[in-house]
Amino acid sequence: MKNPLVSIIIINYNGYYLLKNCLLSILKNKYSNYEIIIADNGSTDGTLEKIKTDFKNNLSKIKILALKKNFGPAAARNKAFKISKGEIISFLDNDTQVNPNWITNALKLFQTNPKIGVIQSKLLLLDQKNKIDYVGELLGNFGFLKPIASYGEIDKGQYNQNYHILAAKSAGMFITKKAFITAGQFDPDYFIFMEETDLGWRVWLNGYQNIFCLDSIVYHQFSSTKNIVDPDFNNYLVRFHGTKNYIQTLIKNLSSKNLIKILPIHLFLWLSLAIYLLFTGKFKSSKNIFCGIGWNFVNLPKILSKRKTVQKNRTISDKKMFIDQKLMVKTKLSHYIYRFLNSQKNIVTPENNQS
């Protein structure tokens, strides 16, 4: 694909104050063959009218998909994809701003290997551009994600190589149209949280590779969601959807052998966290985790049906993924205990931010 059309898909919900700067940065990028699709999840802040006014001279590049309610990022991205025309799809969060060569450098990497399905841009903090937000993730041996870099780590070039990752984040992600369709697109049952991981995992299982691109740079404003939604809603997003989606991701995508090995420990850790929160007086958080676990039992037939499809289409073993490609990392239990306890200080996390 030489100079392919790139469809840039951005989900927005009451975040025009962020979206405006995102659009301005995209319009300054050095690659010209692109379209922008904004899927608006029923915003009430006048987003649609403001786009038409502030970007009246650029509307030939911008498509607006006005959704009547908040479908969440996963379903909204699928709906936006249906009206896209590009061979390459770029997903951005609305609280991002892009480097002028962000598309160009990603396309160069795609051209090096036809097996590349997903590219993760290098995410740096918008307000502290010398610090890392995200450079990819691996799967821990207890079924939880392990970011390759620590959030806020100073960027000294220590991750400046194009390495394999389990999945990319929508704050700065590219995927080929073919890989997106073959993998089955985003699972709309996820609403928010883990939907990119589930997709990226399925991309691997369908015979593609996911890779980090060191010189495709996106700047991300962490925790912007807390300025839009109330704390109770954030609690619900993280605790309920986080628990729910972690568990169903493992059920859908792990081989039978690893599912039997990992899932019981994974469930035990979620239950332990819920009980801890219950006895420390954080009743809503505890309830949301219990509900997230329960959702999987109630919907188990549906999840198993999805698992059957995923496993039927599998072209790579877990051994090749996790051992040969080094997509799984052994992590001490104390690491997750620390993360769980530390997460109580600030309920908003990078993963729950649909903006």
Whether residues 216 and 270 share a domain: the answer is no
210 belongs to a structural domain: yes
75 belongs to a structural domain: yes
Whether residues 238 and 128 share a domain: the answer is no
Query: Of 205, 226, 247, which residue sits at a domain end?
Result: 226
Whether residues 219 and 243 share a domain: the answer is no
Asked if pLDDT for residue 306 goes beyond 70, the answer is yes
Mind giving me the DSSP string for 4-59? --EEEEEEESS-HHHHHHHHHHHHTSS--SEEEEEEEES-SSSHHHHHHHHTTTST
1 belongs to a structural domain: no
48 belongs to a structural domain: yes
CB atoms within 10 A of CB 285: 23
Whether residues 304 and 344 share a domain: the answer is yes
d(CA 324, CA 327): 8
Which of 114, 135, 140, 120 has the alpha carbon at shortest distance from 322?
A: 140
Compare 231 and 335 and report the one with higher pLDDT: 335
Place of tokens 């009246």: 56
Mean pLDDT in residue range 184-191 = 95
pTM score: 0.92
Whether residues 204 and 308 share a domain: the answer is no
Whether residues 105 and 133 share a domain: the answer is yes
d(CA 242, CA 144): 11
Which pLDDT tens digit goes with each residue over 197-251?
999 999 999 999 999 999 999 999 865 554 444 556 567 888 999 999 999 999 9
Whether residues 248 and 276 share a domain: the answer is yes
Decide if 139 contacts 327 (C-beta within 8 A). Answer: yes
d(CA 253, CA 265): 16
Whether residues 120 and 192 share a domain: the answer is yes
CATH of the domain at 19: 3.90.550.10
Domain assignment of residue 347, given as a range:
229-352
Place of tokens 């072209």: 315
Whether residues 157 and 178 share a domain: the answer is yes
Query: Of 192, 226, 260, which residue sits at a domain end?
Result: 226
118 belongs to a structural domain: yes
Whether residues 51 and 165 share a domain: the answer is yes
Whether residues 203 and 325 share a domain: the answer is no
263 belongs to a structural domain: yes
122 belongs to a structural domain: yes
Mean pLDDT in residue range 24-49 = 96
Q: What domain count does the chain have? A: 2
Which pLDDT tens digit goes with each residue over 49-85?
999 999 999 999 999 999 999 999 999 999 999 999 9
Check residue 350 and give its pLDDT: 32
213-223 exposure pattern, b = at least 16 Cβ within 10 A, e = fewer: bbbbbbbbbbe
Check residue 93 and give its pLDDT: 95
Residue 346 pLDDT class (50, 70, 90 cuts)? very low
Average pLDDT, the chain: 91
Whether residues 59 and 131 share a domain: the answer is yes
Which pLDDT tens digit goes with each residue over 83-117?
999 999 999 999 999 999 999 999 999 999 999 99
Query: Of 226, 257, 274, which residue sits at a domain end?
Result: 226
313 belongs to a structural domain: yes
